[in-house]
Structure 1
Amino acid sequence: MASRPQSFGQAEINWDKLDKTKFYVVGAGLFTGLTVALYPVSVVKTRLQVASKDSIERNAFSIVRGILKTDGIPGLYRGFGTVITGAIPARIIFLTALETTKVSAFKIVEPFKLSEPSEAAIANGLAGMTASIFAQAVFVPIDLVSQKLMVQGYSGYATYNGGLDVARKILKAEGIRGLYRGFGLSVMTYSPSSAVWWASYGSSQRFIWSKILGYETEQNKERDPSLMTIVLVQATGGIFAGAVASCITTPLDTIKTRLQVFFFFLCTLKFYPFKVEAVLV
């Protein structure tokens, strides 16, 4: 997974040369750490997405104040246990599909003799999209359950006794397909987003290495960059990729969240007289 420029042969580490144990342990550990740090943001974002027009909490700061006032710090981590339990296997599936697909994708684009940024964009984009599709099979039910926990008791939404209670009520009200409410829209949202993120991440790093830091020149080809330089290039690529992908993800993610949460809300209150199993799947 190293991101050094191809000029000194370390841009990509082949799947067959990866230390799988370290790869999964480190990957899962980093993912868990990031989830802990960013989870409150997801809670606030979800509440903003489902907030009604008449809600008094119309911005992130008012939602945070409301959560801290009623539930304290634990309120910012509602549904966290469910997310971690399900997200780790989903992450393993994602990483496996990403790395194996990336190897094949680079082999496919190599004969076209494209520039390094273009090759990285295509190969990483294909890998990111494929990995996201596989991961959604696990992620969608977890995402759905966690969203119910995030908004429980908020603006009239039901209260639950943990993730298992949410799953049980979904299954009782809608069956197994209820756990995959929004699967189609999730694939439409996250697969292109993942493709754009990984394409932007890979190509932006190649561009920085070659065009900005000059590693495409003869005198710099054999020069090893410092660890700090590698980290800064990766961080810059990640920030750029996140900004680009968010432009695609946010509108569709808002629609998906509202549909997932609101349909189940109506179902449990028996407000609608028709079945909507096929609306989103």
Structure 2
Amino acid sequence: MIEDPSNLSPYADISWEKIDKVKFHTYGAGLFTLLSTALYPISVVKTRVQVGRRNAVHTSSLRIFKSILKDDGVKGLYRGFTTTATGAIPGRAMFLATLEISKESTSKLLSDVNLPDATKTAVANGVAGLVSSLISELYYVPLDVVTQRLMVQGLPGVAKYNGGIHAFRKILHTDGVCGLYRGFGMSVATYCPSTTVWWGAYGASQHAIWKSLGFADGQHPGEVLVVSVQAAGGVVAGAASSVITTPLDTIKTRLQVMENKEGHKPTIIGTAKQLINEDGWRGFYRGLGPRFLNMSLWGTSMIVTYEYLKRLSVKPMPQ
């Protein structure tokens, strides 16, 4: 008999040891790839905004979206998608496994600490997000570098590639292994806080929403309400994370796609100064609109899918 998810209280979290890992990752690979397919164009637009030339901050995301469609058609919105979709599968499995194990370990450490339940949930989720992000960045940064190079093809002064493998080989030949890890420090500085804030805000907001609705531990809301609360928590988490970390993401993206010129490698400080010279302090928030939209839509869709997968993949209970 399979454990009935409807019997779980609103505060319940299915432990990693109760999940069928094969079922979870098999179903997850398909569902998360579908989500990525739907939301990938937003990432392309965001990247184009962030690496654009002077006064790009004044260029609307909608105008860039229309420009890509006009110049390259729908395929222009999916440049680098095959590389991302294929490469993200093992990376995602690594991230989710680390996330669950870290969350459970932190929750156990906090079980006897005198803190409100909402705070414990936020801390456990935040620590899990931080640890899983740190580990997964070793895998994801080279994938990001290659994918983002493919996304910005067609812009002035940007190299052209014949797919992900060609881009990988050319970067490796030109800049060595260091080229594949261009912006690694900024990626860690961007995604670790971003992931920590996202998961922490999600855990705290979901707990607060259930409490505001009058549900206590041991009560069993309907599936529609559960999904609605999870989706609302995803929106709150996406909003908080995107506003806090967009400046870091803008610098990171530009570092990863800029070509070396005359032996000079782009630096964090140099990139930041260039943004200020071009658009002032507003330049750091290039792509905030599409990034906020992407993180909110992706976060909401991801968390609803993620929680559904956990419930779907619960191991059969012994008779």
Residues 184 and 230 of structure 1: CA distance in aligned 2, closer, same or farther (over 3 Å): same
Q: Is the 8 A contact 1:57 1:63 kept in 2?
A: no
Of 52-61 and 238-247, more deviation after overlay is shown by 52-61
Alignment of 1:179 onto 2:177: no
- 1:71/1:200 CA distance change after superposition, 3 Å: same
How far apart, in 2, do the equivalents of 1:195 and 1:249 lie? Answer: 11
Show the counterpart of 1:85.
86
TM-score by length of 2: 0.78
The alignment's C-alpha RMSD in Å is: 2.5
Q: Which runs of structure 2 are paired with 1:6-155 in the superposition (5 Å)?
A: 8=9, 11-53=12-54, 58-155=59-156
1:249 pairs with one of 245, 252, 255: 245
In structure 2, what is the equivalent of residue 215 of structure 1? Answer: 215
State TM-score, norm by structure 1: 0.88
State the match for 1:160 in structure 2: 161
The partner residue of 1:273 within 259, 263, 266 is: 263
Deviations 1:151-196 (A, max 9, x none): 1121221211001111111111111111011111101100111011
Structure 1: stretches of 5+ with no match in the other structure: none
Which segments of structure 1 move beyond 4 Å, counting only runs of 4 or more? 54-57, 274-280
Return the offset for 1:223: 3.4
The alpha-carbon distance between structure 1 residues 141 and 106, as it changes in their structure 2 partners (threshold 3 A), is same
Which one-letter code corresponds to 1:11 in the other structure?
A: A
- Residue 255 of structure 2 corresponds to which residue in structure 1? 259
Select between 48-57 and 251-260 the one with higher mean Cα deviation.
48-57
Alignment CA distance shift 1:17-1:251 (3 Å): same
Within 1, Cα distance between the matches of 2:266 and 2:155?
24
Deviations, residues 122-158 of structure 1 (Å, cap 9, x unaligned): 0000000100111111111111001110111212212
1:236 aligns with 2:235: no
**Aligned counterparts of 1:104 and 1:20: Cα–Cα separation in 2:** 18
Distance across 1 between alignment mates of 2:157 and 2:252:
19
Q: Is residue 82–residue 146 contact of structure 1 (8 Å, CA) maintained in 2? A: yes
Q: One-letter code of the match for 2:213?
A: L
Distance between the aligned counterparts of 2:221 and 2:25, measured in 1?
Answer: 26
The AA in structure 1 aligned to 2:143 is I
Aligned length: 266
Q: Report if aligned partners of 1:127, 1:195 keep a CA contact under 8 Å in 2.
A: yes
**Where does residue 297 of structure 2 map in the other structure?**
none
Segment of structure 1 superposing worse, 48-57 or 89-98: 48-57
Highest RCO, 1 vs 2 (Cα 8 Å, sep ≥ 6): 2
Show CA shifts across 1:95-127 (max 9, x none).
010000011000111111322211100000000
SS in 1 for 2:111: helix
Post-superposition CA distance 1:224-277 (Å, at most 9, x none): 210000000100000000101111221100000111111xx2x2xxx3234669
Calculate percent identity across the aligned residue pairs: 50
8 Å Cα contact 2:8/2:220 also seen in 1? no
Whether the aligned pair in 2 keeps the contact of 1:86 and 1:142 (CA below 8 Å) is yes
Specify whether residues 190 and 56 from structure 1 end up closer, same or farther in structure 2 by C-alpha distance, changes over 3 A only: closer
Tell me the alpha carbon deviations over residues 58-101 of structure 1, each in whole angstroms, 9 at most, x when there is no partner.
Answer: 22122112111111001100000010111111111100100000
Q: CA distance change for structure 1 residues 256 and 112 in 2, over 3 Å: closer, same or farther?
A: same
Matches of 1:223 and 1:240, distance apart in 2: 24
Distance 1:277 1:16 in 2: 44
